[in-house]
């Protein structure tokens, strides 16, 4: 902090408007040296948009609308100036470079939000939610990020912290006055508080599975021998002719990747090259990629042609996907059905089977339902709140959980309260890390480096 930073905060490319954003003690002075308008920037009221020009050494760089948000009531808690330039890289870059020449420094990824955190306006959970908000892939992901950004998850964490802190101070008072015969905290009461908090922590840790799905999506690969209709299914799911479909086996040579959402769950879908014995170099390369996706995907959609008997390639595939979660699709059900469902469940034991016609769009609803229930096992609902979204949260909360379990055991085995006090202090430390009370510079760097520049 202390330095004035600048970045283009809108996406690189063509657009209606491009915003150059400055933050720091020098932002108003720097902007004043470049801005020509009815008023000087330093005299502008905060939050007011004003028209003018950016001029450097007599040369007009762009026609702009400019606004000032004075410290501490700004995103970063510092003086912030936003210059709305004409969209497109040329105008914004020119203005950016002029600002840099006047002494500002280019902002690092996430540095504006990092300053908001360091300035105490938001905690670390809220800062992370900003990044999640920007990269949210579905409406539900967006809502979860908004919920977290408004501090709802922080409140929950802070309430746990407060209860533990109170517990700890009562224990400590008790220890200080241990000669006198007063119990500040009964053993029973302590155990009750601890087990209540343990339950809450476990629930939060469990919500990570959902949070991860929302934030990162689920990777699924459509696999099967050539010509069974994999690309047709991808196109059906997307509602557009994204992949080439022909009656010639071996049409898809390279994997095709797309994002789509079903019931608010973001799916990263990969249409792969068909698996078969071949000497063709391109197909062999395609097959290598398919093998990679089979091992990398969280879920496989295994496609079979219902109008034909099981082929050796179908059996080969069954051995290739051993141990993976799969949904088996019997495609081409609009044709005369030859494939025996029992034979299929013999070799793809356990996996749910859905009958479809990718050509006619039959069975899409069942397909979506089966897919979602495979992802959301044990009937949890994606919209259930609150949700922790990062490995980091999970790791801290699990450490807290472990320490509190030790505290609980220490109390039940009748040890002096000094022991649980020690464990509770440790748990408090781990919980504090979630909201960013105590964090090392390394962790902060890691978190903010995943942001985009200008946020």
Ligand X SMILES: Nc1nc2c(ncn2[C@@H]2O[C@H](COP(=O)(O)OP(=O)(O)OP(=O)(O)O)[C@@H](O)[C@H]2O)c(=O)[nH]1
List of residues contacting ligand X (CB under 6 A): 224, 226-232, 245-247, 249-252, 273-274, 331-332, 334-335, 357-359
Q: Which residue is nearest to ligand X (CB)?
A: 274
Nearer of residues 113 and 252 to ligand X, judged by Cβ: 252
Whether the CB-CB separation of 407 and 426 falls below 8 Å is answered with no
Residue 137 CB, nearest approach to Mg ion (Å): 25
The structure tokens 């510079």 sit at: 441
Residue 232 contact, options ligand X, Mg ion, none, Cβ 5-8 Å cut-off depending on partner type: ligand X
227 binds Mg ion (CB under 5 A): no
- Smaller CB separation from Mg ion, 91 or 358: 358
Of 34-42, 156-164, 228-236, 340-348, the segment contacting Mg ion by CB under 5 A is: 228-236
Nearest partner of 266 among 81, 177, 140, judged by Cα: 140
How many CB atoms are closer than 10 A to CB 138?
A: 20
Nearer to ligand X, 217 or 224 (CB): 224
When asked if residue 231 is in the footprint of Mg ion (CB under 5 A), the reply is yes
Which residue in the block uniquely carries the two structure tokens 């009656």? 247
Which of the choices Mg ion, ligand X, none does residue 9 contact, using the CB cut-off of 5 to 8 A by kind?
none
C-beta of 115 vs 230, nearer to Mg ion: 230
Tell me the C-alpha distance between 229 and 332, whole Å. 8
290 forms part of the interface with Mg ion (CB under 5 A):
no
State how far the alpha carbon of 228 is from the alpha carbons of 331, 358, 366, in Å: 7, 10, 19
Residues in CB range of 351: below 8 A, 6 or more apart = 302, 325, 326, 327, 328
Quote the least distance from Cβ 280 to ligand X, whole Å: 12
Residue with smaller CB distance to Mg ion, 274 or 454? 274
Beta carbons of 275 and 313 less than 8 angstroms apart: yes
User: According to the binding rule CB under 5 A, does residue 252 interact with Mg ion?
Assistant: yes
CB of 291 to ligand X, least distance (A): 14
DSSP 134-150: HH--SHHHHHHHHHHHT
**Selected range binding Mg ion among 206-214, 247-255, 334-342, 398-406, rule: CB under 5 A:** 247-255
In 150-247, alpha helices (H): 152-176, 187-206, 208-216, 230-238
Stretch that binds Mg ion, among 206-214, 217-225, 252-260, 403-411 (CB under 5 A): 252-260
CB atoms within 10 A of CB 143: 16
Q: What is the 3-state secondary structure (H, E, C) of 68-81?
A: EECCCCCCCCCCEE
Binding mask 7-26 for Mg ion (x = CB under 5 A): --------------------
Both tokens of 291, joined, read 């093998």
Which residues in 259-278 contact Mg ion (CB under 5 A)? none
**What sign results for the dihedral spanned by CA atoms 332, 333, 339, 344?**
positive
- Cα separations in angstroms, 321 against 35, 258, 291, 292, 301: 63, 22, 9, 11, 10
Token output for 398: 């699990």
In the complex, what is the shortest distance from the CB of residue 317 to Mg ion, in angstroms, rounded to a whole number? 15
User: CB of 228: closest distance to Mg ion in angstroms?
Assistant: 9
Kindly tell me which of 125 and 326 has the beta carbon lying closer to ligand X: 326
- Identify what 228 binds: Mg ion, ligand X, none; CB under 5 to 8 Å per kind: ligand X
CB of 286 to Mg ion, least distance (A): 10
Partnered with residue 220 across adjacent β-strands are 269, 299
Q: Which is nearer to ligand X, 165 or 251 (CB)?
A: 251
- Report the interface residues with Mg ion, using CB under 5 A: 230-231, 251-252
């Amino acid at each position: 902090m202390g330095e004035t930073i600048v970045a283009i905060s809108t996406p690189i490319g063509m657009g209606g408007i491009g915003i150059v954003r400055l933050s720091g003690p020098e932002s108003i002075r720097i902007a004043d040296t470049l801005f020509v308008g009815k008023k000087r920037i330093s005299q502008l009221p905060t939050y007011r948009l004003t028209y003018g020009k950016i001029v450097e050494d007599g040369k007009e760089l762009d026609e702009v609308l400019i606004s000032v948000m004075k410290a501490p009531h700004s995103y970063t808690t510092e003086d912030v100036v936003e210059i709305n330039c004409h969209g497109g890289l040329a105008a914004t870059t020119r203005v950016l470079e002029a600002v840099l020449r006047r002494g500002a420094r280019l902002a690092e990824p996430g540095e504006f939000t990092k300053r908001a955190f360091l300035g105490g306006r938001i905690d670390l959970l809220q800062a992370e939610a900003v990044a999640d908000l920007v990269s949210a892939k579905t409406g539900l992901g967006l809502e979860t990020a908004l919920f977290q950004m408004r501090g709802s998850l922080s409140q929950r964490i802070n309430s746990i912290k407060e209860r533990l802190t109170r517990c700890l101070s009562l224990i400590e008072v008790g220890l200080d006055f241990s000669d006198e015969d007063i119990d500040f905290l009964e053993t029973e009461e302590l155990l009750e508080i601890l087990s209540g908090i343990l339950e809450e922590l476990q629930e939060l840790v469990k919500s990570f599975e959902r949070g991860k799905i929302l934030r990162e999506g689920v990777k699924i690969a459509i696999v099967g021998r050539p010509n069974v209709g994999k690309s047709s299914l991808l196109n059906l799911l997307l509602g557009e002719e994204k992949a080439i479909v022909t009656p010639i086996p071996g049409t898809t040579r390279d994997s095709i990747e797309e994002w789509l959402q079903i019931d608010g769950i973001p799916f990263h879908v990969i249409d792969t090259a068909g698996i078969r014995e071949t000497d063709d170099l391109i197909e062999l390369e395609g097959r290598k990629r398919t093998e990679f996706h089979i091992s990398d995907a969280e879920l496989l959609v295994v496609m079979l042609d219902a109008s034909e008997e099981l082929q050796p390639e179908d059996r080969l595939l069954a051995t290739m996907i051993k141990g993976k979660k799969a949904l088996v699709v019997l495609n081409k059900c609009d044709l005369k059905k030859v494939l025996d469902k029992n034979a299929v469940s013999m070799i793809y034991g356990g996996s749910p089977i859905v009958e479809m016609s990718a050509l006619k769009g039959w069975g899409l609803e069942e397909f979506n339902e089966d897919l979602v229930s495979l992802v959301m096992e044990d009937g949890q609902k994606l919209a259930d709140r609150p949700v922790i979204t990062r490995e980091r949260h999970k790791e801290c909360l699990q450490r807290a959980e472990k320490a509190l379990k030790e505290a609980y055991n220490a109390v039940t085995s009748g040890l002096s309260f000094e022991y649980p006090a020690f464990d509770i202090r440790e748990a408090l430390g781990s919980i504090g890390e979630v909201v960013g009370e105590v964090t090392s510079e390394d962790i902060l760097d890691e978190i903010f480096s995943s942001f985009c520049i200008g946020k």
